[in-house]
Structure formats: C-alpha cells, structure tokens
Amino acid sequence: MTIKRRQISIAVVLFVAGFAVSLTIQSANDAAPATRSDTESSSLQPEEIQDEILAEQEANREIAEEISAVQREIASFEDSIAAREEEHYNQLEDIERLRMITGDIPVSGEGVEIRLDDSDFNEGQDNPNEFIVHERHIQKVVDELYASGAEAVAVNGQRLANDSYIYCVGPVVEVDGYTSFAPFEITAIGDAETLEEAVNLGGGVRDQLVNDNVQVRTDQLNETEMAGLHEEGAAQ
Amino acid sequence: MNNKSLVIISAFTLITAGTALLLFMSADSEPQAVETRDTAELQEDLLDEKDRRQKLNDELAHLQEVYNQFQEEEDPELVMDDVLNDLKRAAGVTEVSGEGVVLTVDVYIDEHYEGGGIRHIPPYLLRMLINELNVQGAEEIAIDGQRVIATTAVREANDQTLVNGSWLSYFPIDVKVITEDPESLHHAMMSSQTRERFEYENLQFESETVQSLTVPAYDGVQRVRHMTPAQEG
C-alpha cells in the first residue's frame, strides 16, 4: 500500500518535474532565439516592410509624375486642335471643365478650410472614444459643403471623387488608401462666404459636432489649391 | 528519509514549474502582441500602396493610349470625342450599364421592437453604406434612382433623407451598384459591419448579384464657377 502510494507520488513528481524541465527548455529555447529572431525579425521585418512601403511610395510618385506629364502633352494636342478649328473650342472647354469636376487635374480657387480636432480628454472622463473625431464627423462636414455648392472637396489634401472612401482609426484618416494624421482639414472650393455660413449656421453642422466633443475651426481662403486624384495630397 | 527527499523534490519541482510558467508567460504575452499588430498594420499600408500602384498604372496606360491615338490618328477630332465621352462617364452625366449588385434596404423589426415608425435611413448610415461599397470596389452607385457623383450630398431635412437634393422614397429602397466583381462585393456586404449597424437602427438590406443593370445619369448641373485649373510648377 505505502509502496504503491510512494510510487504514485514519485511518478507524479517526476511527471511534473519533466513537464517543468521541458517547459523551461522550450521557453528558453523559444524565448532566447525566438526573442532574438523576434527582435530581429520584428525590428527587421517591420523595417523591411517599411522599406518596401517607401520604395512603393517612391515608385507611385514617379508614376503620378508621368501621368501629369502625359496629361500635359495631351492637353497641348487638344490646344492645337482647338486653335486650328474654331468648332472644337467649345469641346475643349467642356473637356477642361469635366477634368476639373472629376479631379483629373489639380484645381484652385476660393473656398474654406474646416479644421476638426479631438477635444481635450481629461483623465477620469468616461470614454476617450467620445472625444475623438470619427469619419461620420468628417462626412457630415463634407455633405454640408457639397449641399452648399462646394465644387471640389479634399480631406487633408486628398481630393474626393465619386468612389472615394474615408476611414478613421484614432488619429489616422485614410482617404482612398492615402493615410494622413490628425488634425483633419477639410478644404472646399466654392463661394467662401456661403460655405462658411452653411457650416456655422445655428443648430447646423458645427453645433452638432461641438455637441459630439469635436473642436471645429472654420476659415475662408482667398485661394486654395487641390491636387489631382492621382497625386498625393498636399497636407501629408 | 524518504518523506524528506520527497518534500525536497516536490518543493524544487514546484519552484521550477513556477519559474518556467513565469518565464513562458512573460516571454510570450505582451511584446509579441504589440509587434504582430505593428507588422499587420504595416503590411496593410504596403497593400494600400500596391493597390494604388495598380490604379496609377492603369491610369497611365489609359492616358498613353490616348496620347498615341492623338499622334497616329489622322483625324484627331475623333480622339477628342472619345476623351470627352470618357470624361462624361467619369463625371456621372451619362447612364452606365454593367454587371453588379442590387441592395434592397428595408425596415427590420423583431418582436421586441417598441419604438415608433421607421421612416428613413439616417444620412450617417447611408454614408456608411456608400463608404463600404466604395471600399469593396463599387464603380458606380445609384440610390433610389439618384446617381452618386463626387459632389453628391447626403443629408437630412424634416426627418427625411435627401440624396442630390431629392427626397428618398419610402422603403424598400434600391441601391444599384456596378462593379467588376459582383460576387465578392455581395459577400463582403452581407458580412459587413455596416449590415450590423443597419440592424441597430432597425433596418436591413439584402443583396443580389445581377448580370446587367443600369444606373441613371446624374440629372443636376455640375457648376464650375469658382475653380480653375491649377498650373503645375
């Protein structure tokens, strides 16, 4: 009886000891090379990814420049055709107008800038999430600007098109894959006074945003320039 | 004697086990979680950049083709017609047909519902839907017959939702979407967070892929009074 009991205890102890040893070895084995390869691969791997991103961005900038160059060549073809034949002058005007509307080319004009900021979050308040700018806040401003006659709108310099999307994650906003950071600046081209008034109207967008703890600043701009869709926004 | 050694062995074992566990946990838990998240975020950024490269290359190829046509075509006026037509399509002033998805938005009320009548899609929700559709690769969208263009405003007045300044009709509301890959857009929408958000607001949408559908042209006027082409330096 006692022998059996002792054997069992020893067996259990040995088992636990074995488990512990294997665990230690494993974690030592894992932890040492793994932390090393982790610090290597995770300080190196992210670096590698970072490098790749930079290379990709560089390549994209070059393609964007090429696009602008070809656009200019095409425009000069069109100019010469319009100059040669009177009837094409109107057609050329239409083309240029539509290129501004679609965002194919950079545009400039008077307008407004609406700046949205997270409100100051004090420790002890309920939920930090209630104090940051969300995409619905940006969208609300954008919709109000369009409703008030904005001809072109950009978020942090990135021109909006018919198939644009806006994503907010904390202080980061992504517009059509272009990432930028808070504060969020929404620029619009149109009648500066009308646009500013529309946003500041009592009970309007500004009040609603302030209610949501978003800081809103509006400024009229005599002249603002917006990059074309294929270009990276200016406010990077 | 035996008991003593047993106690010693047990104590030793317990300490070892404890240390091992501690080592194991501290080595594995937090730092790795943080780092994998960073890596995942970076990888997503990289994918974004590659996506953009694809789009830019498509755009460049298209423009180079136009350029070549201008050079080779004996009748460059024809090329100008093409350019104009492409732009009209991009601006949303022509109707467009193609394969795609039709979403039908309707009221969704379960037996526990105690609120009042549901009369419209809140603008923020409709914007969320458009946003999600664009993330999923929508090319053209029409909501209740209103084409979504760059300057489309979605807003609320008198508890009704307006798109392009027109009131939306009562439910069910059709959202027509033209896209290259209807199947993937359909699945993405049916499992989207947007769909859950709709349910919070007692709304739901069904989605259906279609071989061919037509979105109407934008019927308003797109004015250009305050902007001019910016000279590139």
Residues of A with Cβ-Cβ distance to B149 under 8 angstroms: 162
* Helix residue spans in A85-172 (DSSP H): 88-102, 135-147
Domain boundaries, chain B: 1-68, 97-215
Helix axes B76-91, A88-102, angle to 10 degrees: 30
CB–CB of B46/A47 below 8 Å? no
Q: Do A166 and B31 touch (CB under 8 A)?
A: no
**A125 & A207 share domain:** yes
- Give yes or no for B6 touching A (CB within 8 A): yes
Q: Greatest CA separation found in chain A?
A: 115
The SS3 assignment for B119 reads coil
Nearest to A35 among B27, B48, B128 (CB): B27
Closest-CA residue of chain A to B151: A146
How far apart are alpha carbons B22 and A3 in whole angstroms? 34
Is A182 part of a structural domain of the chain? yes
A151·B223 Cβ contact <8 A = yes
Q: Which residues of A touch B77 (CB under 8 A)?
A: 81, 85, 88
Higher pLDDT: B230 or A18? It is B230
Q: Which residue, among A84, A143, A172, would best test binding to B if mutated, counting the most B CBs under 10 Å from its CB?
A: A143
% chain B with pLDDT above 70: 83
- A85 lies in the same domain as A121: no
At B32 the pLDDT is 47
Closest by Cβ to A63, choosing from B60, B88, B141: B60
Domains in chain A: how many in total? 2
| Percent helix, percent strand, percent coil in chain B, to nearest 5 | 50, 25, 25
Nearest neighbour of A70 by CB, restricted to B10, B63, B225: B63
Chain A touched by B77 (CB under 8 Å): yes
- Indicate yes or no: CB of B151 within 8 angstroms of CB of A151: yes
Chain B CB contacts of A173 under 8 Å are none
In sequence order, what E strands does chain B have? 96-107, 138-143, 146-147, 154-157, 160-163, 166-167, 173-179, 203-215, 227-229
Q: Write the secondary structure of A200-218 as one string of H (helix), E (strand) and C (coil).
A: HCCCCHHHHHHHCCEEEEE
Residue B3, token pair as written in the block = 């008991």
The pair of three-digit structure tokens given for residue B198, joined into one six-digit string: 């709709």
Q: Mean of the per-residue pLDDT values for chain B?
A: 84
* Domain co-membership, A95 together with A171: no
Spatial contact of B125 and B202, defined as CB atoms under 8 Å apart:
no
- Structure confidence by residue, pLDDT tens digits, B67-94: 888 888 777 778 888 889 989 999 999 9
Asked whether residue A30 is domain-assigned, the answer is yes
**Residues in chain A closer than 8 A to B143 (CB atoms):** none
More confident residue, B26 or B200: B200
- How many whole angstroms separate alpha carbon B139 and alpha carbon B134? 7
* Whether the predicted pLDDT of B49 surpasses 70: yes
Among B179, B227, B231, B232, pick the best mutation site for testing chain A contact (most A Cβ within 10 A): B227
Contact A67/B56, CB-based, under 8 Å? yes
The contacts of residue A17 (CB under 8 Å, 6+ apart) are B9, B12, B13, B16
In a domain, A69, yes or no: yes
pLDDT per residue, tens digit, chain A (236 aa), is: 556 777 777 666 655 666 666 655 555 555 444 443 444 444 457 788 888 888 888 898 899 899 989 888 888 888 888 777 777 788 888 889 999 999 999 999 999 999 988 776 555 556 666 667 888 889 999 999 999 999 999 999 899 999 999 988 877 888 888 888 878 999 999 999 999 999 998 888 898 888 888 888 999 999 999 988 888 765 43
Q: Does B52 touch chain A (CB under 8 A)?
A: yes
| CB pair distance less than 8 Å for A35 and B165 | no
Q: Are residues A32 and A60 in the same domain?
A: yes
Across the interface, whether the CB atoms of B226 and A67 are under 8 A apart is answered no
Q: Give the structural domain span for A152.
A: 109-226
Q: Are residues A8 and A73 in the same domain?
A: yes
pLDDT over threshold 80, residue B159 = yes
| Residue that terminates a domain, selected from A102, A137, A168 | A102
Q: What is the 3-state secondary structure (H, E, C) of chain B?
A: CHHHHHHHHHHHHHHHHHHHHHHHHHHHCHHHHHHHHHHHHHHHHHHHHHHHHHHHHHHHHHHHHHHHHHHHCCCHHHHHHHHHHHHHHHHCCCCEEEEEEEEEEEECCCCCCCCCCCCCCCHHHHHHHHHHHHHCCEEEEEECCEECCCCCCEEEECCEEEECCEECCCCCEEEEEEECCHHHHHHHHHCCHHHHHHHHCCEEEEEEEEEEEEECCCCCCCCCCCEEECCCC
| Boundary-marking domain end, from A68, A86, A102 | A102
Binary contact (B67, A108; C-beta < 8 A): no
The answer to the question of residue A123 being in a domain is yes
Clarify whether residues A125 and A197 are in a common domain. Answer: yes
pLDDT over 80 (residue B200): yes
More confident residue, B6 or A225: A225
For the B97-215 domain, the top CATH level (class) is alpha beta
Strand partners, B42: none
Let me know if residue A236 belongs to a domain. Answer: no
Are residues A205 and A116 part of one domain?
A: yes
Which of A53, A59, A139 minimises the CB distance to B45?
A: A53
The per-residue b/e assignment along B187-215, b for 16 or more CB within 10 angstroms, e otherwise, is ebbeebebbebbeeeebebebebeeebeb
In a domain, A235, yes or no: no
A114 and A15 both lie in a single domain? no
Select from A59, A135, A230 the Cβ nearest to the Cβ of B59.
A230
Instruction: List, in sequence order, every residue forming a beta bridge with B208; answer none if it has no partner.
Output: B102
Q: Using CB atoms, which residue from B9, B24, B222 is nearest to A13?
A: B9
Whether B109 contacts chain A with CB within 8 A: no
Is the Cβ of B21 closer than 8 Å to some Cβ of chain A?
Answer: yes
Domain boundary among A62, A87, A102: A102
In contact, A50 and A64? CB cutoff 8 Å: no
Same domain for A184 and A219?
Answer: yes
The pLDDT score that the predictor gives to residue B33 is 47
